[in-house]
Amino acid sequence: MKRFIRIACVAAVIALLGACSRQVAVKIGVVAPMSGPLAQYGKDIANGAQLAVEELNRDYFTIGGRRARFELMVEDDKASPEEGKTAAKRLIDADIAAVFGHFNSGVSIAAAPLYAQAGIPQLSVSTNPKYTRMGLKTAFRITADDIQQGATLARLITDKLRAKSLYIVDDRTLFGVGIADEVGRIVQARKLQSPRESLDPKNANYAALAKQIRDANADTVFFGGDEAGGLPLLKALRQAGSSARFVVADAMCDNSTVKGAQGNADANYYCTIAGVPPSWLSSGIGFTEMYRTRFGAPGAYSTLSYDGIHVLAQAMQQAGSAVPANYLPTLAKGAFSGKVQGTVEFDDKGDIKDGTVVIYKSVGGQLIEQRDVL
């Protein structure tokens, strides 16, 4: 009996070793602000990626004929370029196969050369055009850029809202200045005058700026930047008696942002998201239900990270390898099935082809998609 047990144990060990040899371990980095004012966006990204990894592992996804076991390594870049580079180095040292990140354009651009030097594909939601125009073969964007988003915002302001007096404010960040530049360039070409100010979120005199905007009789304000400067400005505007339409881009297009405005964004608040909403596809609706069960209502970037992990996995599968150098050419040239975005392909710069930008309006404190705006 003991001899039989020993033989059985040896057989079990051999079987286990054989099963392990038929598996390939794939580590994917996810890096975004997990702390600070933008932490909700980072957590949304991490949650969407986690659902994708669990789904891939559950479905016995294979790469090169072997079952792939995916693992996430989540890092906090604190929305800081320097912290972003430090986080990137930790992920590179951990021998990741790919990275999904960063969130902020300035952080993505700072970290991108590090991933490029290591030959690791970087898939980002950052929208500043410079990110994919540095000549790095490893940089990819899974969403429309600020040129596309800026054009949509400008059309919203001029064609739908029919602004008579526009005031533009940016927060001096790479993202904020870039998107404000795009909006300003287009509205000025359409003969809409737009005074502009830049503010430092930490030292701005919001009350004085709000009074300045109110006294200019601006019926619309465009703010380029994130919540650290945008929410105090919006609150100051309302306290100054201005009911001007407040228009922002994707860094302030989340129900958590509207909630943080404490009633000041319940009306006359418009924003854009670069990406396809889950409601457009049946598989997207399924994603929403799955996400809601685990984490509550999905954020705008949950869908992009969920799709992004699937895109990276499909590129590895098509190439038959999770080694970055082997699957990078496939990622650059292939076509992939985004569960929410639909077909995902990248152009020669690494930008997604046919990027979608959707407008939302706050109605009673909830962001509602505006399909008929433009």
- Give residue-wise pLDDT tens across range 199-217: 999 999 999 999 999 999 9
Task: Please name the residue that has the structure tokens 């990276």.
Answer: 312
Looking at the predicted structure, is the pLDDT value of residue 281 above 80? no
Specify the pLDDT at position 18. 46
Q: What percent of the chain has pLDDT over 90?
A: 82
- pLDDT score at 21: 54
| Percent of the chain predicted with pLDDT > 70 | 93
Q: Please give the CATH number for the structural domain made up of 2-143+279-340.
A: 3.40.50.2300
Residue 14: pLDDT over 50: no
Q: 22: burial class by Cβ within 10 Å (0-12, 13-18, 19+)?
A: exposed
76: number of Cβ within 10 Å: 18
Locate CATH 3.40.50.2300 in the chain. Answer: 2-143+279-340, 146-274+358-369
* Mean predicted confidence (pLDDT) in 261-283: 86
| Rounded CA separation 253/373 (Å) | 16
**At 135, which amino acid appears?**
G
Report whether pLDDT(346) > 90.
Answer: yes
pLDDT of residue 211: 98
Tokens 């069960």 appear where?
A: 293
Kindly indicate whether the domain formed by 146-274+358-369 is annotated with CATH number 3.40.50.620.
no
In 3D, which of 106, 99, 174 has the Cα closest to residue 138? 99
Peptide bond preceding 102 in cis form (omega within 30 of 0): yes
Query: Can you spell out the DSSP letters for 21-39?
Result: HTEEEEEEEEEE--SSTTH
